[in-house]
Chains A and B, each alone.
Chain A
Amino acid sequence: MAEAGRLKVPATTMPWPEPVTALRVAIIAVTLLLWEAIARSGLLYRDVVPSLTAIGGAIWRLLAIPDSQSPTLSFPLTDFELPLPSFYWHLWVTASEVGTGLLVGGLSGLVVGLVLGGNRLLAKSFEPYLYYLGPTPKIIFFPVMIMWFGVGPGSKIAMGAISCFFPIALSTAAGMREIDKVLIQVGRSFRANAWQMATKIYLPAMRHPIINGVRLGLGVAIIGTLLAETKLSNRGVGFLIIQAYSLFDMPRMYAMLIVLFVVAIGANALVGRFGGLHAIRQR
């Protein structure tokens, strides 16, 4: 078998916690302690560094305390209605904007990537546009998006879509070209038709670049959508953040940033895990 003969290191049975975990805990603990110290010392202007308890309280209020504008979650067939903190409604708004933007941008990116990856001439003619337009700050297009799609969710979805279109198109095109040529030859030698080639050979062979592209696309779609919300919106997590800024409610802003980061990193990890699970048994 392939891995026979590989030396196995005996598992250590030390009573101490693993050094890596210990170090991580130490770093986090020291950071939190320093933070609290600065907060209490009054060194910086009052609320720029709020105490941990203030932030903790704000997170609690954000996630668990329904407020005056709370939407309610009604359970069908019962009279029971659960009032939710309005944060979840805003989170839902943002999530659906990001999701739609990712869908629109992702699908068009996939199609464009497949076309460009499959044809040398088209790739040489048009891929440079994608390649050089990719690393530009998409938020500057926002005024144009507002003009085209209005001040509502449309412009935010559009921001998410143009943000994720480029990385997905580029990684799909690159993925097409990186497919092991011999796999295509195998398909041809067995006389697979175009549909079979596409579904049984091209797409599976590209699963890694596509998943990586989607991960990247998700990340930039989140950023694009949220930035648009901070600039011009009356709903969504971005709106809440800028609202906290204008009200100078710092604990609330920190709370939202923390929750946002956890959600964003979590979503990214989920997509990565989904792609990774697929790849665990394969190369």
Chain B
Amino acid sequence: MASATTLPRSEAANAPRPADAGILVVKEIVKQFDTPEGPLVAVDRVSLNVRPGEFLAVIGPSGCGKSTLFNIIGGLLDGYQGVVAVAGETVHGPHPAIGMVFQEESTFPWRSVIENVAFPLEIAGIAKKDRLEKAKKFIALVGLNGFEKRYPAELSGGMRQRVAIARTLASEPKILLMDEPFASLDEQTRLLLGDKVLQIQQDLQQTTLLITHNITEAVQLADRILVMTYRPGRVKRIVDIDLPRPRSSDVVSSEAFGRYVAQIWNDLREEASRGMQDEESRALHAGEPP
């Protein structure tokens, strides 16, 4: 992969901020769904705080409400209690300062790579020449220079996710919100892409919130990890990851890394097995009257 280019950031983003006021403040989110089996609390009073330039990972078992949280912060889901605020502004619907990268294949198959990446700029009404130039820079940032005119069908899954990331970065969000972006990729590709993400985050000093179920990924990339419980999702523990920066995927072989993974798995194991038991009992009793 080509080396990343450093992009100048606007003045405001570089200005120092008060230490404990995060760029992203999530306060006491409660989200309940109405299901045929009755009301289901997906997220129960979750609060978190992301500091500028920080990489926060949210990890939890399947069914802990991570994706619900992702959609709430991203402004795609409403009908919840609590507040989401970005740089002091409350979020009502998708906010320009928040960029989302989805778990599923999300590149537009009918657009070339450069047209995909330029999409947010096109929506914002930027002139064609300018937005294509800008898109080129972000394509280079994710290491896909040369692929501008190709179509997503011609790329591998990992490359397509890089296009999706470049597309979101092109909108220059204050906060990058990612929902298990590497879930559909194999382990080795994940580790290498993790490297890429670290590099990008480094260069851009991009504040990032990553939702994942993969422990190694979380420890590899994050400054802090927030562990969630199984349904209803609550914050179980916040772990500071004191691995040195700048990091690369070599860090996975260090002792400290192993200790962090063990610690988090300890917390997670209990939640994950609760989740599994719940699934099994539900499958067993499927079709019975509630």
Whether B171 pairs with A190 at a CB distance below 8 angstroms is yes
Given the interface contacts A2-B156, A189-B100, does A182 sit within 8 Å of B106 by beta carbon? yes
Whether A190 pairs with B123 at a CB distance below 8 angstroms is yes
Whether A190 pairs with B120 at a CB distance below 8 angstroms is yes
Given the interface contacts A191-B96, A283-B152, does A205 sit within 8 Å of B102 by beta carbon? no
Whether B109 pairs with A185 at a CB distance below 8 angstroms is no
144-169 of chain B: CB within 8 A of chain A: 151-156, 159, 167
Whether B153 pairs with A190 at a CB distance below 8 angstroms is no
Given the interface contacts A180-B104, A204-B110, does A190 sit within 8 Å of B152 by beta carbon? no
Expressed in whole angstroms, the minimum distance between the Cβ of A195 and any Cβ of chain B is 11
Expressed in whole angstroms, the minimum distance between the Cβ of A278 and any Cβ of chain B is 8
Contacts of A192 in B (CB 8 A): 123
Whether A205 pairs with B120 at a CB distance below 8 angstroms is no
Whether A2 pairs with B155 at a CB distance below 8 angstroms is yes
Q: Is A11 an interface residue (CB 8 A)?
A: no
Q: Is B55 an interface residue (CB 8 A)?
A: no
Q: Is B122 an interface residue (CB 8 A)?
A: yes
Q: Is B119 an interface residue (CB 8 A)?
A: yes
132-190 of chain A: CB within 8 A of chain B: 180, 182-183, 185-186, 188-190
The answer for the CA separation of A190 and B124 in the assembled complex, in Å, is 9
Contacts of A180 in B (CB 8 A): 104-106
Given the interface contacts A183-B106, A186-B106, A190-B119, does A281 sit within 8 Å of B154 by beta carbon? yes
Residue of A nearest to B102 (CB): A182
Whether A204 pairs with B108 at a CB distance below 8 angstroms is yes
Whether A2 pairs with B154 at a CB distance below 8 angstroms is yes
Query: By the criterion of a CB under 8 Å from any partner CB, how many residues of chain B are at the interface?
Result: 30
Q: Is A78 an interface residue (CB 8 A)?
A: no
Whether A191 pairs with B151 at a CB distance below 8 angstroms is no
Query: By the criterion of a CB under 8 Å from any partner CB, how many residues of chain A are at the interface?
Result: 22
Q: Is A74 an interface residue (CB 8 A)?
A: no
Residue of A nearest to B99 (CB): A189
Q: Is A207 an interface residue (CB 8 A)?
A: yes
The answer for the CA separation of A152 and B21 in the assembled complex, in Å, is 77
The answer for the CA separation of A200 and B156 in the assembled complex, in Å, is 24
Expressed in whole angstroms, the minimum distance between the Cβ of B42 and any Cβ of chain A is 18
Q: Identify A188's interface contact among B76, B119, B154, B156, CB under 8 A.
A: B76
Q: Is B143 an interface residue (CB 8 A)?
A: no
What 0/1 pattern do residues 115 to 145 of B give for CB contact below 8 A with A?
A: 0000110110000000000000000000000
Q: Is A53 an interface residue (CB 8 A)?
A: no
Q: Identify B94's interface contact among A2, A182, A191, A204, CB under 8 A.
A: A191
Q: Identify A183's interface contact among B75, B94, B100, B108, CB under 8 A.
A: B108
Q: Is B52 an interface residue (CB 8 A)?
A: no
Q: Is B74 an interface residue (CB 8 A)?
A: yes
Task: Say whether chain A's binding surface is mostly helix, strand, loop, or mixed.
Answer: helix
Given the interface contacts A183-B106, A185-B102, does A283 sit within 8 Å of B76 by beta carbon? no
Whether A282 pairs with B110 at a CB distance below 8 angstroms is yes
The answer for the CA separation of A169 and B94 in the assembled complex, in Å, is 32
Q: Is A43 an interface residue (CB 8 A)?
A: no
Contacts of A1 in B (CB 8 A): 154-156
Expressed in whole angstroms, the minimum distance between the Cβ of B97 and any Cβ of chain A is 11
Whether A205 pairs with B119 at a CB distance below 8 angstroms is no
What 0/1 pattern do residues 115 to 127 of A give for CB contact below 8 A with B?
A: 0000000000000
Whether A182 pairs with B104 at a CB distance below 8 angstroms is yes
The answer for the CA separation of A189 and B98 in the assembled complex, in Å, is 8
Q: Identify B110's interface contact among A185, A186, A205, CB under 8 A.
A: A205
Contacts of A281 in B (CB 8 A): 151, 153-154
Expressed in whole angstroms, the minimum distance between the Cβ of A209 and any Cβ of chain B is 13
Contacts of A186 in B (CB 8 A): 100, 102, 106, 108, 119, 167
What 0/1 pattern do residues 189 to 205 of A give for CB contact below 8 A with B?
A: 11110001000110011
Expressed in whole angstroms, the minimum distance between the Cβ of B182 and any Cβ of chain A is 15
The answer for the CA separation of A283 and B108 in the assembled complex, in Å, is 10
What 0/1 pattern do residues 40 to 53 of B give for CB contact below 8 A with A?
A: 00000000000000
Given the interface contacts A189-B100, A190-B119, A191-B94, does A283 sit within 8 Å of B153 by beta carbon? yes
Can you sample 30 A-B contacts with CB below 8 Å?
A1-B156, A2-B155, A2-B156, A2-B159, A180-B104, A180-B106, A182-B102, A182-B104, A182-B105, A185-B106, A186-B100, A186-B102, A186-B108, A189-B75, A189-B76, A189-B98, A189-B100, A190-B94, A190-B119, A190-B120, A191-B93, A191-B123, A192-B123, A200-B122, A204-B110, A281-B151, A282-B151, A282-B152, A282-B153, A283-B109
> B-side interface residues toward A, CB under 8 Å?
74-76, 93-94, 96, 98-100, 102, 104-106, 108-111, 119-120, 122-123, 151-156, 159, 167, 171
> A-side interface residues toward B, CB under 8 Å?
1-2, 180, 182-183, 185-186, 188-192, 196, 200-201, 204-205, 207, 278, 281-283
| A-B contact sample (19 more), CB < 8 A, given A189-B75, A190-B94, A204-B111 | A2-B154, A2-B156, A2-B159, A182-B104, A182-B106, A185-B102, A185-B106, A186-B119, A186-B167, A189-B94, A192-B123, A200-B122, A201-B108, A281-B151, A281-B153, A281-B154, A282-B110, A282-B151, A282-B153
In the A-B complex, the 7 residue pairs with the closest CB atoms: A283-B109, A189-B100, A182-B104, A283-B153, A204-B110, A281-B151, A190-B120
